[in-house]
Structure 1
Amino acid sequence: MSLLVTNARLITVPAGTDDPGYIERGYLLVRDGRIAAIGAGDPDPGVTADEILDVDGKFVAPGFVSSHSHLFTSGSRGLGVDQTLYGWCTSMFSVLNNASPDQIYWATLHGSLDFLANGVTTAYNFTDPLLPWEPMVEGKRADGGGTLRDHAWHTRQADGCYDAGLRFVDSIALDATVGTDEEIFARFEASLDHVLAMDPDIALGASIMGQVQWSTRPDAAEIEVAVMDRFGVTNQAHFLETYEAIEHQQTKFQLYKNAGALRPGMMFGHFIQTTPEIIQDAAAGGASMSWQPASNGRLASGIAHVPEMLDLGMKVGMGLDDQACTDVADPWQNMRMGMFMQRARTHDPLSMMPERVLRLHTLGGAEIMGVDDRVGSLEVGKFADFVVVDPRKPDVGPLWNPVRSYVLACGLRNLERVYVGGKLANDSGVSTNPLAVEASRVLHEELPALADEFGIIL
């Protein structure tokens, strides 16, 4: 299968430079799901393809990367809007804690298709843990007894991403307060094996959902590092996110530091309630950060000091977090909100420019996830994951600076097509996946039925 895209305004976001790689009029050749050639002007006369797509001056840019996502929440939008993080979690999980593994599968698949519809082609996806959510009191978990769900709760979420055709890294909670260390290792290995049995072009790898922030186990950081070392996986911890119990949260950073976790492969999600010393230690060790500005604003969590992290050499990616706390999983909205938050905080427009925020939501996310050799930019050899964006429908006006107009003036309203591996995944908001109709039915019929069955008032 081959595809030749012509007459494109290309934004390539190449590695190794801050330049966005803009080409005013160019072409993209796809063979067997990967980019075979890319360049300015027209391809050589002898170049042929099974399909030729003339985009007539539309933008062709990398599919977005969400380096922090919870795709099982796609049926929980609009909940907990009067709450900060922990109250919102309790509101959302009041329904989802009663779902079956198959229902969480359909919710995850629905969320994955929603990402694809919005131009996100790769995601770091946190699977909901086997240990159900318990309320937090003064920033600490109220342990409800430690009964784990069936292991299918994990694996069906990975299946949902996979069946949607979304490239993903599967992030697995250790639930380290339940069982012996060997039992924890065995649970993780079973989930890991499930992911590794999938096509590695879709299931890009596995990772740990770091839980030190909430764990009542004093050596939780050590067990996470042990799993990283034993299985050769990365780790992303929700950390220093919410405004509650800040001093308690900050004390837990020392647990990660003492355990030797501050190194490449260690990601901190949110990372808002930091200190200059915490940022410096994380950067010096090679840890990275995933930034979720839309959800940080929605949940009143705060504003991460991203420019300061970048200035210290810390790698940063962007994520859309939950559909349930961004409500519209819109990467353009996420970029603009992040940009505007930083400018308002620093009073300096140069603290976050459009070119930088675009890189963070594409190649930057891929870099911290360890998959930048395959996704995140339009370069020869990488997967042909791209969006087609029409700046004339609706018309955004003259493209004085095309890349900046792409970030600042375009959005979902201009998104025409989404391709994964050179194959059309979404056309003007309509999924090409035959499972989309059933996913919608389950969310619209079965989740409300769960709320009725368990007497949940939302």
Structure 2
Amino acid sequence: MSMLVTNALLLTVPAGTDDPGLIADGWMLVEDGRIAAIGSGTPSATADEVLDVGGAFVAPGFVSSHSHLFTSGLRGLGVGETLYGWCDSMLGTTAHMTPDQMYWSTLHGALDFLSHGVTTAYNFTDPLQAWESMVEGRRVGDAGMRALSYHTRQADACLDAGIRFVDAIGMDATVGSDDEILDRFGASVAHTRTMDAAFALGASVMGQVQWSPREDAAWIEVEAMRRFGVTNQAHFLESPEAIPLQQAKFAQYRDAGALGPAMMFGHFIQTTPEIIEEAAAGGASMSWQPASNGRLASGTALVPEMLALGMKVGIGLDDQACTDVSDPWQNMRMGITMQRARTKDPLSMMPERVLRLHTLGAAEIMGVDDRVGSLEVGKLADFVVVDPRRPDVGPLWHPARSYVLSMTPRNLRGVYVGGVLVSADGVSTNPLAAEASARLHEELPALAARIGHPR
């Protein structure tokens, strides 16, 4: 099947530049789920279907380089808490959920991302080892373990939702011998690799050194990276508690040989100049979550300084339970305003830059930029149709800047994955959407009543 998108204001987001790649009066040909041609003016191609967007924006689907899709039914919890108190409230609830409940929660979250224009997500699955409260910024490590299906059902839900994803898997490195830990991790990776590779874009380690009581936790993560050929994203230097302890753990990653293109640091807020310089020099990247960093009072990462050192940066939406609305435009605007307020320099974060970081930049740090993140011939045809006249934002003096600064999900007319419509005016086309919603509304309140959560 083929589709010809016409009468579009294309934002292609090409590699190697903050230029948004604007093409007025643009068209795009999609064949067998991939972009076959792009041009301006009268199309030089025909197709089975013509989608005339009437002058609307057509842009890459957003990429979230840091997400927890299972949290979609847990919004509004721990509002008066920083990270660990919020985790006690939110993850204290998931600690009692079954694999089947995690499936439906993850499916609901993935469909929610798609309905907001996010077509690819780096997805941290809830680990097999249940949540436990932190002591001085670290876990005790003696919480109970769940069955392997607790992870695999979360991956299944991403696939069934139709979102493209990188599957981030916890090492659960305090339970069992090193061989048992690696074998368990490998079983989860093997499950992901049986899935349709057009959607399951890869597997990754959910780095947990920040919380682990093991002094060699970085070593076993690096061993998993090498043995299974996967990347690693660590929640690191996020919370304003126990900062010296957190900072001291950077040496674990450095000394274990983790620093390199396969290593991502999520949040990376409570840094020092030396930590940033070492991470950048080693080739590690960073995922920035502006909305959740503000919601949890975590602070503001020094993103312009990291970029100036050549560090690659992507933007993620993080938990729906701490970003609340899966709105990538809100996320980009929060990033702009937080950096400008910090630096008192409007040039420190421009709209063109955050657009790149929430699309191709996020895909780059995830290692999937050869497939998603921009509108280029040969890439998967994941795109959004965004109408600046519904509601009308006025003249587009600088179209790409208006796209970032003035659009909201109300302007989002359609979301396409592989050239297939997956959400129209915010409503999912997935046949499982109604059941996912019904299950969350029925089962999560019943669970909360049983365990005395949430708060």
Q: Considering the TM-score relative to the shorter chain, is it more than 0.5?
A: yes
Give the match for residue 324 of structure 1: 321
Q: Contact 2:61–2:383 at 8 Å: present in 1 too?
A: yes
Give the match for residue 99 of structure 2: 101
Give the match for residue 78 of structure 1: 76
Match for 2:225 among 228, 243, 249? Answer: 228
Give the match for residue 338 of structure 1: 335
Aligned mates of 1:180, 1:425 — CA distance in 2 = 44
Residue 384 of structure 2 aligns with an amino acid whose one-letter code is: V
1:39-118 mapped onto 2 (5 Å cutoff): 39-44=39-44, 47-118=45-116
Q: Contact 1:168–1:204 at 8 Å: present in 2 too?
A: yes
Is 1:430 the counterpart of 2:420? The answer is no
Q: Deviations over 1:114-153 (max 9, x none)?
A: 000000000000000001111012212233x242101100
Give the match for residue 3 of structure 1: 3
1:234-249 mapped onto 2 (5 Å cutoff): 234-249=231-246
Q: Deviations over 1:250-270 (max 9, x none)?
A: 000011111111111100000
Aligned mates of 1:334, 1:378 — CA distance in 2 = 21
Match for 2:213 among 216, 235, 240? Answer: 216
Which structure 1 segments of 5+ residues have no match?
Answer: none
Deviation at 1:97, TM superposition (A): 1.2
Q: SS state of the match for residue 335, structure 2? A: helix
Deviation at 1:419, TM superposition (A): 0.2
Is 1:355 the counterpart of 2:352? The answer is yes
Deviation at 1:457, TM superposition (A): 5.0
Match for 2:126 among 125, 128, 140? Answer: 128
Give the match for residue 199 of structure 2: 202
Give the match for residue 16 of structure 1: 16
Q: Deviations over 1:327-354 (max 9, x none)?
A: 0010000000001100000011110000
Q: Contact 2:65–2:366 at 8 Å: present in 1 too?
A: yes
Give the match for residue 160 of structure 1: 157
Deviation at 1:177, TM superposition (A): 0.8
Q: Deviations over 1:378-435 (max 9, x none)?
A: 0000000000000001000100000000000011110110000000000001100000
Is 1:371 the counterpart of 2:356? The answer is no
Residue 32 of structure 1 aligns with an amino acid whose one-letter code is: D
Aligned mates of 2:450, 2:255 — CA distance in 1 = 47
Deviation at 1:188, TM superposition (A): 1.0
Aligned mates of 1:445, 1:424 — CA distance in 2 = 29
Aligned mates of 1:97, 1:133 — CA distance in 2 = 6
Match for 2:305 among 294, 303, 308? Answer: 308
Aligned mates of 1:175, 1:97 — CA distance in 2 = 14
Residue 40 of structure 1 aligns with an amino acid whose one-letter code is: S
Sequence identity, in percent?
Answer: 74
Aligned mates of 1:434, 1:457 — CA distance in 2 = 30
TM-score after normalising by structure 1 = 0.98
Residue 248 of structure 2 aligns with an amino acid whose one-letter code is: T
Q: Contact 2:83–2:296 at 8 Å: present in 1 too?
A: yes
* Gap change, CA 1:442 and 1:12, over 3 Å in 2: same
Q: Contact 1:146–1:177 at 8 Å: present in 2 too?
A: no
Q: Deviations over 1:21-70 (max 9, x none)?
A: 001111010000000001111211xx221110100100000000000000
Q: SS state of the match for residue 440, structure 1? A: helix
Deviation at 1:95, TM superposition (A): 2.0
Residue 220 of structure 2 aligns with an amino acid whose one-letter code is: I
Which structure 2 segments of 5+ residues have no match?
Answer: none
Give the match for residue 288 of structure 2: 291
Q: SS state of the match for residue 141, structure 1? A: coil
Deviation at 1:182, TM superposition (A): 0.9
Deviation at 1:15, TM superposition (A): 1.2
Match for 1:398 among 390, 395, 410? Answer: 395
Q: Deviations over 1:307-338 (max 9, x none)?
A: 00000000000000000000001000000000
Aligned mates of 2:160, 2:137 — CA distance in 1 = 36
Give the match for residue 191 of structure 1: 188
Q: SS state of the match for residue 136, structure 1? A: coil
Aligned mates of 2:437, 2:204 — CA distance in 1 = 28
Aligned mates of 2:453, 2:245 — CA distance in 1 = 32
RMSD over equivalenced CA pairs, Å: 0.8
Q: Contact 2:236–2:267 at 8 Å: present in 1 too?
A: yes
Residue 14 of structure 1 aligns with an amino acid whose one-letter code is: P
Residue 3 of structure 1 aligns with an amino acid whose one-letter code is: M
Q: Contact 1:269–1:291 at 8 Å: present in 2 too?
A: yes
Q: Contact 2:259–2:283 at 8 Å: present in 1 too?
A: yes
Q: Contact 2:89–2:454 at 8 Å: present in 1 too?
A: no
| Matched positions, count | 455
Q: Contact 2:237–2:270 at 8 Å: present in 1 too?
A: yes
Deviation at 1:93, TM superposition (A): 1.9
